Amino acid sequence: MMSYAQAAVSALQHEMAADANVVVLGEDVGRGGIFGQYKGLQQEFGAERVIDTPISESAIVGAGVGMALAGLRPVVEMRVVDFALCGMDEIVNQAAKNRFMFGGQGRVPLVMRMPIGIWDASAAQHTQSLETWFAHLPGVVVVCPATPQDNYSLLRAALVSGDPVVYMEHKTLWGLQGEVDTAQSVKLGRAATLRTGQHLTLVSWSKQVHACAQASEMLAQEGVEVELIDLRTIWPWDRDAVLASCAKTGHLLVVHEAVQAAGFGAEIAATAAEATGCMVRRLGAPRIPVGYAPVLEAQSHISVDDVAVAARAMLK
């Protein structure tokens, strides 16, 4: 058994031992990171490969881009996705576009870790889910692991992909325990079908996969067979798996913690409707900042009951 955080450490440990070009840089990485996602790595590999930086996200990402172009395979730590906004020029105009603008002469094998999601009592500036921003950006891969196994396998896949990867771990999953098979590999862009069913296709990613799994169990007791798909990679996303399921069930519900308006669920729903003619529905957060007070924060959560109610409404 490993926690979600330990799985990430193990993945980095494996790749750093195998390739001296893998380096880590960011705030607090030397002491293990604020979630323990780098615990013990500086002691094992030294301060020249696990590098503590000043508080400057633009400098961290900019240095990572330069390192990648020079032949290293850097992992840059943003602490939370909200802070990555201070490094957006380096992400959007440097990391993402370099390979295209210079005719493939240089590649940017850079992994940018940006924890996402509602973190209890952390208010509006530390609780955002911005995966859609990066899915809209040509030139980057966007990954959202939901389990310790996927955090291990997908992080290793991101490290060897050769492209800039926006790697988004959910802040409340760090302590989640699960079995991890270190021999199991995963290809970026491949979804996981967690259960099969014939009545409804349910697509999600990151923390909301767990709410959807619980809702699927509830619905099964009512005779509703849900096909649950964990997208895992937001871009590229597994169209084949989703569309095959939608063609079978005729109903698609996409669930995400991010704001529903212009969320990535809309892309999946539109694609499925165009390709299969299935009935579609999205379930995401209202377009409001996440509140600090528990009663306000609760307005942004998508609960197990919310998922079950939306599914039942589609099948009436």
Regarding whether 203 and 170 lie in a shared domain, the answer is no
Domain range for 85: 2-178
pTM to 2 decimals?
A: 0.96
Question: Region 39-56: what's the mean pLDDT?
Answer: 97
Residue 267 has pLDDT above 90, yes or no: yes
pLDDT at 3 over 90: yes
Task: Tell me, yes or no, if 126 is annotated catalytic.
Answer: yes
Note the pLDDT tens digit of each residue in 73-132.
999 999 999 999 999 999 999 999 999 999 999 899 999 999 999 988 899 999 999 999
170 within some domain: yes
Considering the domain architecture, whether residues 209 and 260 belong to the same structural domain is answered as: yes
83: tokens are 């802070």
The pLDDT of 134-163, averaged and rounded, is 97
The model's pLDDT over 231-263, given as tens digits with 9 standing for 90+, comes to: 999 999 999 999 999 999 999 999 999 999 999
- Is residue 316 pLDDT above 90, yes or no? no
In a domain, 309, yes or no: yes
In the chain, the percentage of residues whose pLDDT exceeds 70 is 100
CATH number at 105 reads 3.40.50.970
Indicate whether 186 belongs to any domain: no
pLDDT at residue 91 in the model: 98
Instruction: Tokens 């095959």: give the residue.
Output: 244
CA distance 246 to 273: 9
Mean pLDDT of the region 154-178: 97
Question: Which residue out of 126, 170, 251, 256 is catalytically annotated?
Answer: 126
The percent of residues in the chain predicted with pLDDT above 90, rounded, is 98
Are residue 239 and residue 167 in the same domain, yes or no? no
The SS3 of residue 60 is helix
Contacts of 285 (CB under 8 A, 6+ apart): 129, 257, 258, 259, 260, 300, 301, 302
Number of domains in the chain: 2
Of 310, 253, 312, nearest to 278 by C-alpha is 253
Choose one of 178, 200, 229: the last residue of a domain: 178
Residues 201 and 173 in one domain: no
* 236 cis-preceded (ω within 30 degrees of 0): yes
Helix/strand/coil for 4: helix
Domain CATH for 265: 3.40.50.920
Residues 159 and 264 in one domain: no
Residue 183 covered by a domain: no
Whether 256 and 132 share a structural domain: no
Q: What angle do CA 294, 296, 300 make, to 5 degrees?
A: 105
- My answer on whether 24 and 133 are in the same domain is yes
Going along the chain, which residue ranges are E strands?
A: 2-3, 22-26, 50-52, 73-77, 111-113, 141-143, 165-167, 177-178, 192-195, 200-204, 226-230, 233-235, 251-259, 279-285
* Residue that is last in its domain, among 178, 209, 244: 178
